[in-house]
Chains A and B, each alone.
Chain A
């Protein structure tokens, strides 16, 4: 993406492509609508929460006060002294384990989301655009996957093949794909009836190219909403699987497994359960809030009323 540095060149000297998109600004569409979402109150709060917790998870491993897996003190010691959040079932420092136990969870959630949305988008868009037999096969496959609850589906795969990290990512991704596919299929049905798609078909363009070049760019908003939404689900499911013991194996720390390990000592040192649970909750709330802002910007709810009225005025009415 070429970025025009203001003041460096007179406008005329800037070579063509750099000046592309004039009034729209020099951001690609998805970035500019993300930016619009960030500027709303809702989006700002959501993003602040998400970045706080993601930041904690990413920097965490480098700033642990003590080694996260070392047995240092009594079981379920109350917070105090050297151990700000007390200790867990084996006398390990809760704060260090919380700091070290987030990044892999987030990484797996992100990977599962990206993979799931890609799979779902490919399935949904091609089902809607190709119609006919392809539509039938794709949608019925989706129905089959959809008939398993997401967590059960992941558990099924994991118990058959074994608790491998890549398999968790894959299982969660596959369980996301149907929902994403449905949403994008209905969005694509609308778009593929538009005249601009017909115009390209008239030139004899291959279906794959029509989908990639004409349809996908118009699905940016629903895709962004889907990514945000699926990311929250991924975090919850992967943390849930870790809670059930599918995930990193002991002694590695993980927010999900920490809740399970320490729930017996809830009365002795509640912080060992509350803190990881709260972090997961805040992360999903933040992510959801931000996604909501993105969706609202995409459908125009968060547009300032003056701007909306101006658009009404300028866009002519449809002639029957």
Chain B
């Protein structure tokens, strides 16, 4: 442990697996020298060859911790106390020059967005050799090392490739280049900050496989930060769940995911949708306390179903439960309660097959590029159709054509028996009122200078002549309907969380009582617990108001939870359409098959079919193609069982 190694001296011989490489103790990061804490009491250790996942929702402090592992903080934050020991050397005590030498050589960082991290004016080869040149003495022959790491990262190590600029590579290739850069100096620790967030599922899976095999073959300790539980589940042996700047549960992944103890972990897992079952998603209501607003007691208590008076007063300390550390006062009581998931109510049988909206040979293009070709689609009245596809498949363009935002299309879109005009201006007011649209990103779809009441009141003002009193009443009613409450009418969007903003956007669409609701990736900008709440809300509203709904998503797992039928788009062509069960269980098209295969899946125990306790068989973590030796630190009980 305390084998004091000179900083900069890289490990020449790969250390044996299982040796502790990184140890973090009582890390505390504050906002300014004496401000409120952003991160506190964070302790964990990572062994060689092991990947530790840090999961949490936005604002939980996971990226702050990841950066602190490199001795870095964002502007305004400062590391108040704690240790970050890498091979026994405390990085936080190093002098600036020593820290600089250690960064890159012994600790490497892979950022979220590779297109922003690579220098657009330098060739790939130059950027890869740069780190090797800066840290002299790492290798005799940088050129050979570059080719070696390129191969390891599954990139073609041809001279042409090395001469390319970052913009000539795809997103997946760019991320591989940053992985290759991180591994070039053979560091002891790699910090990966959501490296696959912007990538398609297929690319994401390849990158994850690369990370896993590199870590195990070089005995590198890795810390993998992600908001995506399914991705983490398939990759890491140990996982730490962060909430409000603290680790609230840490332990072997398989066990933690199978039998979560902390109520927050339970909530988070219950919110993850699965493409294999239709379930009622349960999100976590409320929001995380912000730095400075974290009072006494357990920081999760205000949102916790199990909370008692004691939880609000007493600060929970980590207790060891079943091989992991949990920060909860009521572990004993909670452990017994089964985390049962309700099966979703099956959709309406669809007795009357009248179609509310049908598309016939719709082609759309942006300038010269054809985005949709010959799309046909039927949306039965009062049902929900999911449109699924990867980015670039034309699903958003399809939505925009129906809504009238994109005018450059040909073909027929028939809504309630009448053909729709291409552009908004040609459509009668009544049609505009009956078709409403919810945008992807609630952070850009609400005018920051208007109050919630003004935002929701705008369509009412446009379509209906109402007195001030009537209008206020309608706005209040719809706010109640989306469970926001009337008192937020005078708030501004920047006073709301992401989930609350999306509720406002839903309320704006519903206030004029439309017949057709188009939801364009409405949950992709939201945390998973919030996503579950929003999907449930939309499903309830669709039933109650008998809405016809088009739900556009790249997340196949969500489809089952909301839609009755699904349409799969690939490069602007409908490759598969049918009832959800049929499309997901018996996909006919190879593209759909691949799409379903590549979705990282997370299966959790405690289902109606799997009683809690039989962890080994109830947990299935995919992708399944992992070698057994990549999970060196998982105990026998924690070994994921492969189906």
Residues from 292 to 320 in A contacting B, C-beta threshold 8 Å = 304-310, 312-320
Cβ of B197 and Cβ of A316 under 8 Å apart? no
Known: A19-B490, A196-B446, A312-B74. A204 touches B429 (CB 8 A): yes
Q: How far is A214 from B427 in the complex, measured between Cα atoms in Å?
A: 22
Interface contact A20-B451, CB-CB below 8 Å: yes
Bound together, the chains give a CA A205 to CA B433 distance in angstroms of: 12
A309→B76 contact, CB < 8 A: yes
**A194 close to B444 (CB less than 8 A):** yes
A8 contacts the other chain (CB 8 A): no
CA distance A34 to B64 in the complex (A): 33
B32 is an interface residue with CB less than 8 A from chain A: yes
CA distance A217 to B290 in the complex (A): 29
Which residue of chain B lies nearest to A219 when distances are taken between CB atoms in the complex?
B449
Q: How many angstroms between the C-alpha atoms of A308 and B77 in the bound complex? A: 10
Question: Which of B35, B58, B64, B445 sits near A316, CB closer than 8 Å?
Answer: B58
Chain A residue numbers with a CB within 8 Å of B463 are 203
Complex CA distance for A209 and B640, rounded to whole angstroms: 59
B513 to chain A, nearest CB (A): 14
Instruction: Tell me if A313 and B495 are in contact (CB < 8 A).
Output: no
Residue in chain B with minimal CB distance to A198: B405
Asked if B450 and A217 sit within 8 Å, CB to CB, the answer is yes
Bound form: Cα–Cα A315–B424 in Å: 33
Neighbouring A residues of B451 by C-beta, 8 Å:
20-21
Q: How far is the CA of A40 from the CA of B446 in the complex (A)?
A: 30
Partner of B291, one of A198, A305, A310: A310
Contact digits for B282-318, partner A, Cβ 8 Å, 1 yes 0 no = 0000000011100000000000000000000000000
Residue among A194, A203, A306 making CB contact with B462, cutoff 8 Å: A203
A31 within 8 A of B: no
Picked from B113, B436, B440, B490, the residue with its CB within 8 Å of the CB of A20 is B490
A residues 240-272 in Cβ contact with B at 8 Å: none
State whether A306 touches B32 (Cβ < 8 A): yes
Is A195 a contact partner of B74 (Cβ separation < 8 A)? Answer: no
Chain A residues closer than 8 Å to B411, beta-carbon distance = none
Shortest Cβ distance from residue B3 to the other chain A in the assembled complex, whole angstroms: 36
Judge if B448 is at the interface, Cβ distance under 8 Å.
Answer: yes
Query: Contact at B439–A195, with CB atoms within 8 Å?
Result: yes
Residues of A with C-beta under 8 A to B432? 202-204
Instruction: Tell me the smallest distance from the CB of A273 to a CB of chain B, in Å.
Output: 48
Contact A313 B444 (CB under 8 A): no
Q: Say whether, besides A22-B495, A199-B439, A309 and B446 are in contact (CB < 8 Å).
A: no
Chain B residues in 8 Å Cβ range of A21: 451, 490, 492
Which residues of B lie under 8 Å from residue A24 when comparing CB positions?
492, 495
A218 close to B495 (CB less than 8 A)? no
Residue A16 interfacial (CB < 8 Å): yes
Q: Are B439 and A316 in contact (CB under 8 A)?
A: no
The CA-CA distance from A315 to B505 in the complex, in Å, is 18
Q: Complex Cα distance A221/B433, Å?
A: 34
Interface positions of A from 20 to 67, Cβ below 8 Å from B: 20-24, 29
Closest-by-CB residue of B relative to A29 is B449
List residues of chain A with CB within 8 A of the CB of B64: 313
- Contact indicator A313/B35 (Cβ below 8 Å): no
Cβ of B61: which chain A residues have Cβ within 8 Å of it?
A: 313
Is A200 part of the contact surface with B, judged by Cβ < 8 Å? Answer: yes
- Cβ contacts under 8 Å, A305 to chain B: 32, 75-76
Contacts of A20 in B (CB 8 A): 451, 490
Q: Mark B414-429, 1 if CB is under 8 A from A, else 0.
A: 0000000000110101
**A313 neighbours in B (Cβ, 8 Å):** 38, 59, 61, 64, 291
Q: How far is the CA of A315 from the CA of B501 in the complex (A)?
A: 13
User: Is A143's beta carbon under 8 Å from chain B?
Assistant: no
Q: How large is the interface on A (under 10, 10 to 19, 20 to 34, 35 or more residues)?
A: 35 or more
Per-position contact with B for A177-208: 1 when CB-CB < 8 Å, else 0? 00000000000000000111111111111000
CA gap between A217 and B492 in the complex, in Å: 13
- How far is it, in angstroms, between the C-alpha of A217 and the C-alpha of B463 when the chains are bound? 23
Interchain nearest-CB distance for A234 vs B (Å): 28
User: What residues of chain A lie closer than 8 Å to B525, measured between beta carbons?
Assistant: 316, 318-319
Within 8 A of A (CB), among B381-433: 391, 403-405, 424-425, 427, 429, 432-433
User: Which residue of A198, A310, A319 is within 8 Å of B76 (Cβ)?
Assistant: A310
Residue B217 lies at the interface, judged by CB distance under 8 Å to chain A:
no
Residue of A whose beta carbon sits closest to that of B76: A309
Q: For the complex, would chain B's binding face be called helix, strand, loop or mixed by DSSP majority?
A: loop
Chain A positions within 8 Å of B498 at CB level: 316
- Which residues of the other chain, A, contact B58 by a CB distance below 8 angstroms? 316-317
Contact A319-B197, Cβ < 8 Å, known A198-B439, A310-B291? yes
Chain A residues lying within 8 Å of B76, measured Cβ to Cβ, are 304-310, 312
Measured CA separation A32–B257 after assembly (Å)? 48
Task: Point out the residue from A16, A194, A196, A317 that lies within 8 Å of B112, measured CB to CB.
Answer: A317
Q: Tell me the bound Cα distance from A45 to B527 in angstroms.
A: 45
Minimum C-beta distance from B475 to chain A (A): 12
**A223 CA to B51 CA in the complex, in Å?**
51
A99-135 toward B: CB 8 Å interface, digit per residue (1/0)? 0000000000000000000000000000000000000
CB-CB under 8 A from B77, the residues of chain A are 309
Known: A306-B32, A319-B524. A201 touches B424 (CB 8 A): yes
Contact A218 B405 (CB under 8 A): no
Chain B residues whose CB sits within 8 angstroms of the CB of A196 once the complex forms: 444-448
Partner of A202, one of B197, B424, B490: B424
Any A CB within 8 A of the CB of B31 = yes
Q: In the bound complex, do residue A308 and residue B490 qualify as a contact, i.e. CB atoms below 8 Å apart?
A: no
Q: Does B459 interact with chain A (Cβ within 8 Å)? A: yes
**In the complex, what distance in Å separates the CA atom of A199 from the CA atom of B64?**
35
Flag whether B255 is at the interface (Cβ < 8 A).
Answer: no
Whether A217 pairs with B424 at a CB distance below 8 angstroms is no
Interchain CA distance A21-B452 in the complex, whole Å: 10
User: Which one, A22, A217, A308, contacts B447 given CB within 8 A?
Assistant: A217
Tell me, yes or no, whether B437 is within 8 Å of chain A by CB: yes
**Is B142's CB within 8 Å of the partner chain A?**
no
**B82 close to chain A: CB less than 8 A:** no
Closest Cβ of chain B to A155, distance in Å, is 40
The answer to whether A309 and B403 touch (CB under 8 A), given A200-B458, A316-B525, is no
- CB A241 to nearest CB in B, in angstroms, measures 38
Inside 8 A of A306's CB, which chain B residues have their CB? Answer: 31-32, 35, 76
Nearest Cβ distance between residue B454 and chain A, in whole angstroms? 9
**Is A22 within 8 A of B441, CB to CB?**
no
Q: Is B587 an interface residue (CB 8 A)?
A: no
The interface residues of chain B lying within 8 Å CB-to-CB of A149 are: none
Residue of B nearest to A307 (CB): B76
Q: Contact at B462–A205, with CB atoms within 8 Å?
A: yes
> Which residues from A are CB-within-8-Å of B597?
none
Scoring B residues 491 to 529 as 1 if CB is less than 8 Å from chain A, else 0, what string do you get? 110010010000001001000000000000000110100
- Chain B positions within 8 Å of A, measured between CB atoms, are 31-32, 35, 38, 58-59, 61, 64, 74-77, 112-113, 197-198, 290-292, 391, 403-405, 424-425, 427, 429, 432-433, 436-437, 439-441, 443-451, 458-459, 462-463, 489-492, 495, 498, 505, 508, 524-525, 527
B-binding residues in A (CB < 8 A) = 16-17, 19-24, 29, 194-205, 214, 217-218, 220, 304-310, 312-320
For the complex of A and B, 3 pairs with smallest distance between CB atoms: A309-B76, A217-B449, A305-B76
Apart from A313-B38, A313-B291, A317-B58, 5 more pairs, CB < 8 Å: A19-B490, A202-B436, A217-B447, A218-B447, A309-B77
A-B contact pairs, 6 of them (CB 8 A): A200-B458, A201-B405, A202-B424, A204-B432, A214-B447, A306-B35
